[in-house]
Amino acid sequence: MSENILEVINVTKDFPGVRALDNVSFRVKRGEIHGICGENGAGKSTLMGIVSGVHPFGSFEGQVLVHGKEMKFRSVRDSEKVGLTIMHQELALSPYLSIYENMFLGHSKNRFGIIDWDELIVRSRPYLERVGLKDRPETIVSKMGVGKQQLVEIARALSKNTELLILDEPTASLNDEESEQLLNLILELKKEGLTCVMISHKLNEVLKIADSITVLRDGESIRTYDARTEEVTRAMLIKDMVGRDMKHLYPEKNPSIGETVFEVKNWTVYHPEYHHIKVVDSASFHLRRGEILAFCGPMGAGRTELMMSIFGKSYGSRSEGELFVKEKKMEFATPQDAIRSGLGYVSEDRKSLGLILIQDVKTNISNSSLQKLSRYGVVDSFAETNAAERYRKSLNIKTPSILQMVRNLSGGNQQKVVLSRCLLAEPEIFIVDEPTRGIDVGAKYEIYCILNDLAAAGKSIIMVTSELPEAIGMADRIYVMNEGEIKGSLDRGEATQEKIMHMALS
């Protein structure tokens, strides 16, 4: 048997008009954890699609070897047969089924088409134990958190006798604690002999657990590091990923902060379904001109819920409290009211709440501002095109044309489209929720610059973020939330990751 469980040799894959992969090669040794890093659009997902049979044999050039034998996968099923399982970024669980049903979905043993569910429950237990999930197998997965759902996916993979597990951005939607647990679990499984390939943006995580690391850039495999024999640093990886030195992750800034422009007093939000549960409990905060505020805290702290309920009651069954814009008391019954008073909201979930994926870049940008771009209800298509082109240039949106469907753009560029739409409406107060989630290092930096420029131009920004370094690097002031309450605030300079964590958990 070969030492390498997986070998990818000189793979080239073309999509109409783009070369997604150009002569990519890398090897995964048996029993190791292999990290794959690269910016969005570097070709990571395409590569994994080829390895797992999503892109069938024949649709690309080059070879894929498993256990030293060349594989000609026609579908994902073929790759699963030889012990390869891929876990996608978006979880592929059926939300209204239970843990064990999900685990054995599609590969449950049956007799003449009849499934013995009791047997499956019994069989599911050892796997759940291995991944450290204590919930009963009958629990419906939609009632569990994302972190636990991820564990179910891993248990599912294990139950399929997986030898090589490919994880695509496994911690993207997890908080720090959950991420930590997941990474430990992967290390644990490695000891039991499982080989893992982990695709991640989070270099710290890759550096922490990977035995070897391959960097992709623009469809090419730049280099593979062996972390067991050489010292690999974050800076080295970033340099390989972006092709240039990244001295600063966060742009320099000289804030000039003015008077209070927005104030929230004793804001309480009730759960949309369970009307007595307070998701946010009497939160009070203020925002000044030219200031960037960060809201930190673990998942479920109520940050997004707070912001969405402020933004025209977009969340929750009802809310109490007072809002002041420039010291004037306001009521926002709908997002329209909020927009009219100068607020803008960029959602954390750009695919389902931010963009209209089947529309083009131009339309997505103009949707919020059509009143401005029209006369007597008729859209001025010239003004619209000009506006879209203006933002394409100023925000450096990488798209062949503004008539491109946004679904075909990379995550970072999609985020810029959402930002453009918000900017075009010319708000004074921006609420940006996880503005850099799921986008690559280079695009992150650009987004930070855009936010800093806005603040410098006298706009005020509320940034909800789960990444503490981002909050510390960007914010003038940080509010720490947990369990629906604002636990405290920290000024720029005094904030450290430890202090924030302490404050959140106090």
What is the distance of C-alpha 205 from the center of its chain? 15
Q: Tell me the closest approach of the beta carbon of residue 46 to other proteins, in angstroms.
A: 13
Stretch that binds other proteins, among 81-89, 127-135, 331-339, 473-481 (CB under 8 A): 331-339
- Of residues 86, 93, 203, 355, which one binds other proteins by CB under 8 A? 355
Q: Supply the minimum distance, in Å, between the C-beta of residue 41 and other proteins.
A: 15
Pick from 69, 275, 407, 502 the residue near other proteins by CB under 8 A. Answer: 407
CA triple 362-464-94, angle to 5 deg:
75
Instruction: Give the β-pairing of 477-482 and 292-296.
Output: parallel
Closer to other proteins by CB, 104 or 391: give it: 391
Residues 6+ apart with CB under 8 A from 167: 87, 186, 196, 197, 198, 199
Kindly tell me which residue out of 68, 95, 243, 400 binds other proteins, with binding defined by CB under 8 A: 400
Residue 363 is a binding residue for other proteins (CB under 8 A) = yes
Three-state secondary-structure class, residue 496: coil
Pairwise CA distance, residues 348 & 331, whole Å: 24
Which CB atom, from 298 or from 312, has the smaller least distance to other proteins? 312
- Which position among 58, 106, 113, 377 is part of the footprint of other proteins (CB under 8 A)? 377
Site mask for other proteins (CB under 8 A), range 281-320, x = bound: ------------------------------x--x------
CB 494: neighbour CB atoms within 10 A? 8
As a whole number of angstroms, the distance between CA 106 and CA 330 comes to 53
Which listed range, 63-71, 149-157, 177-185, 376-384, lies at the site for other proteins (CB under 8 A)? 376-384
Q: Whose Cβ is closer to other proteins: residue 254's or residue 371's?
A: 371
Give the separation between CA 316 and CA 227, rounded to whole angstroms.
47
Taking the complex as a whole, the smallest distance from the CB of residue 400 to other proteins amounts, in Å, to 6
Among 58, 118, 244, 371, binds other proteins (CB under 8 A): 371
Contact between 37 and 237 (Cβ < 8 Å): yes
Residue 435 binds to other proteins (criterion: CB under 8 A): no
214 lies in the binding site for other proteins (CB under 8 A): no
* Pick 106 or 377: Cβ nearer other proteins: 377
Sequence-separated (6 or more) residues with CB below 8 Å from residue 345? 307, 308, 311, 314, 335, 338, 422, 430, 431, 432, 433
Q: Which stretch binds other proteins (CB under 8 A): 204-212, 246-254, 296-304, 382-390?
A: 382-390
Q: Is 258 helix (H, G, I), strand (E, B) or coil?
A: coil
Listed in sequence order, the residues at least 6 apart from 349 whose beta carbon sits closer than 8 Å to its beta carbon are none
Q: Which residue among 66, 121, 339, 464 contacts other proteins (CB under 8 A)? A: 339
Cβ proximity to other proteins: between 180 and 380 the closer is: 380
CA pair distance 215, 232, nearest whole angstrom = 12
Stretch that binds other proteins, among 114-122, 265-273, 361-369, 478-486 (CB under 8 A): 361-369
Which residue among 3, 10, 15, 491 contacts other proteins (CB under 8 A)? 15
Please, is 445 exposed, middle or buried when counting C-beta atoms within 10 Å of its C-beta (0-12, 13-18, 19+)? middle
Query: Which residue among 89, 385, 396, 489 contacts other proteins (CB under 8 A)?
Result: 385
394 binds other proteins (CB under 8 A): no
Q: Rounded to an integer, what distance in angstroms lies between the CA atom of residue 285 and that of residue 301? A: 15
Among the listed ranges 187-195, 217-225, 332-340, 445-453, the one in contact with other proteins (CB under 8 A) is: 332-340
- Would you count residue 91 as binding other proteins (CB under 8 A)? no
Please list, in sequence order, all residues whose beta carbon lies within 8 angstroms of the beta carbon of residue 125, skipping any fewer than 6 positions away: 137
Q: How far apart are CA 248 and CA 357, in angstroms?
A: 33
What is the DSSP code string of 300-364?
Answer: TSSHHHHHHHHTTS-SSS-EEEEEEETTEEE--SSHHHHHHTTEEEE-S-IIIII--TTSBHHHH
Q: Of 44-52, 104-112, 277-285, 348-356, which part binds other proteins (CB under 8 A)?
A: 348-356
The three-class DSSP label of residue 465 is coil
- Only one of the segments 130-138, 290-298, 356-364, 437-445 lies at the binding site for other proteins (rule: CB under 8 A); that segment is 356-364
CB of 105 to other proteins, least distance (A): 24
Closest approach of Cβ 369 to other proteins, in Å? 9
Nearest-approach distance from CB 431 to other proteins, in angstroms: 11
Residue with tokens 């009211």: 337
Which of 354, 438, 442, 484 lies at the binding interface for other proteins (CB under 8 A)? 354
Q: 111, 244, 273, 358: which one contacts other proteins (CB under 8 A)?
A: 358
The C-alpha atoms of residue 353 and residue 152 are separated, in whole angstroms, by: 26
**In angstroms, rounded to a whole number, what is the distance separating the alpha carbons of residues 429 and 286?**
12
- Angle made by CA atoms 360, 365, 370, in degrees to the nearest 5: 110
What residues between 415 and 434 interact with other proteins by CB under 8 A? 421, 425
Closest separation in Å from C-beta 78 to other proteins: 21
User: How many residues contact other proteins, by CB under 8 A?
Assistant: 41
Rounded to whole angstroms, the Cα distance separating 446 from 388 reads 18
CA 51 to chain centre: 23
Q: Which residues bind other proteins (CB under 8 A)?
A: 15-16, 311, 314, 334-336, 338-340, 345, 347, 352-359, 363, 366-368, 370-371, 374, 377-379, 381-382, 385-386, 400-401, 405, 407-408, 421, 425
